[in-house]
Structure 1
Amino acid sequence: MNKILPGRIVFIFLLMPFFINAQTPVAPVVPESTVKYPQFQFKGLFQARYLQALEEGVDVMGVHHSTGDVVQSSFDIKRMRVGLNTKLSEATEVVILVNLADFKSDPKGKVLENAYAKYTFNKYFAVTGGQFRPAFGIEELVPVDIIKSFDFSNQYYEFGKNGWTSFQIGASATGAFDLGKIPINYAVSMLNGNGKDQEMDKDNGKQYSTRLVFGLSKEHKINLGLNGGVGKVFKQDVFALGVDITSDFKLTDKFTFDLQIEYKQGTNHNLYFALPVDARTASVADYQMRGIYFLPNLRYLVDYKKLTSLELSCRYERFDPSYKIDSNVRQTYTPMISLEFGKAYTGRIEMGMEIDRFDKNIPDTSMYNDNLFIIQFQCRL
């Protein structure tokens, strides 16, 4: 019997309740005959940075050099994104997003980020197919231009290398429903699991993931997220799991405080298969990653001339790419001050530090203590 078939049966079984819910009547909508399609919406993002490495022998990319010259200050274009959202009908949309800044290095496996179509039956059930960011945590649901730090967390990128987060190719079912008085959002995904812009899957295995978000408090926007995933990579069983919580408290008319906490753990099969056969154990289960981060953010509404708000944040993250074998915990502190101009981060100037501390410094690698000063400027359309 095909070993992949049971996984697909489970995937379909998980979707069945939402197909049933999809039959529930919904409020009437404006007849499509009164709306002209297609509708186009262009989007864009520009992010440029100045970087200054402050640790001796470590460059602006965080790599230690025991000999030779080290580039410790540099200007950089982080992102130059151009996107197009097209509504083909009331229920159908196609989304394209590219990052032109990826052309500054080898663009293979880069540049094209979002490339998917989505069909929405109703609020209970929608289907997405193509290349997109599957829901598996807080960061996957938030654009990088409105996060409360310079960039996504270390664990986000590491889980992306392992096929659970970042841009992946596959299909997903999403929607929302109420369980009593508790609103619930869900996502069920089936993915190739080998990253973006790939010609085909690397093997016959697929990765299946689920996310549930429970709205615990509407007043303080407290949401609890549960994430789980299983799959096969080169016939080896892999898994990932996570839990996260977000909250947003209005302290006064001008002060708000929001907090994100996220924990993830899973198989680091990307590391396992990158090692020579004679340098690894027989089981991929011996290589597991785990991490947690806290991201508090204090926002003060200024609304003075073009300045909209002032924000202060400091993310603390603890991440270990292989805590069972050759553990080397990375602790990252990211204090940042942000000035917002216009609405919804239309313009933003950020200044702060990325401070990395490792249990073990490994010379001539990126696993080395470093202090990086950053000034980042962004404009979004």
Structure 2
Amino acid sequence: MFQRLREWYLDAAHKRGDQRRDLEVSTCLGPLLRWIILRWAAQERRLALALDASTLADRWTVLSISVLIRGCAIPVAWKVIGAHAKGSWRPDWEGLLERLQGSVPADWEVLGLADRGLYARWLYTAIVACGWQPFLRINLAVKARAVGEEAFDWISRWVPAPGTKWQGVVECFAQQKSRLCCTLLMQWEVGYEHPWIVLTDLAPAEANVAWYGLRVWIEAGFKDVKGGGLGWHHSKMRDAGRVERLWLAMAVAMVWMVGVGSHADSQRPVACFEQLPQRHIARQRLQRAPTQPPLSRLSCLQRGRLVLLAALFKAEPLPLVRLVPEPWPQTLTPPKPGPKSSQQRQRQKRRERKKRQKAAHHRKTAA
């Protein structure tokens, strides 16, 4: 049994024993998403999925579809390709979406979010074919016409300056082959360099451009997979199939840890500052604007990991998986002000000093 567990990520030809089989990861993707749905909080019947790509050095590129929950992202479908492989990603993305089709109940609201670099009409269509709602960001350099208009014009006319927003049904893209009838959501929040521009098939009254803010959680998910959690960045694997099987193990572990962590996070007491003076440092550091989500110093993955370790150390039963999402954002969060130039110079000096110290240590060790 130990030998089988140790070799499960290998292909059949490299396993010991007779009648050994390959683990086909693609057959596990739909059941993985259905498992997450079963463990989802009963009162919440909507789901946000993000599509994005991540790299590991110059070896691998991973195309991933992840469930977004409480600042984390749990991968439910992925494809590993060589970092320098040529060709279109379209067949890979369409294949991943096809594997997940039918895994979410039909009465659920499911958003498929992707950044500007992934937008394509075929991706919009593929998400709709799954019965989900695309929520795809596009660039500002696009022409569209609203209902009742004849000529196409630049969409920048609807959000000419920070502090403006617009939404409505349009025909987007002037070229016939790219043209799309959809809902256009636009908002230029003060403090942002560019406006948020999102295409969806939801009615204007049913959609909120602030939901696109969920997409950034997939970046935290990639961090959890790599140096911030499971340590995939240390992997030396050279076979794409083995990497995909490793990702399956990490995805299952993340469902458990994020589930336990999300439940623990939902039970945290809310910070109260009523007894503190107005100029107390705790008010300045921890209190947040009403439009911002509560501050959390631990990701749900790390919080869940610590809860599981504590249960093991105390010989208690391991907690069951229960995924507890938080409400979707209703307003855009203003960006944090960037560091001052003096702070940037100090940080740069500290980084250079650490590099010199590390190099000196290596020279001393080598001698």
Structure with max Cα Rg: 2
Task: Give 1 or 2: higher strand fraction.
Answer: 1
- Determine which structure has the larger helix proportion and give its number: 2
Relative contact order, higher structure (CA 8 A, sep 6+): 2
TM-score tier (shorter): under 0.3
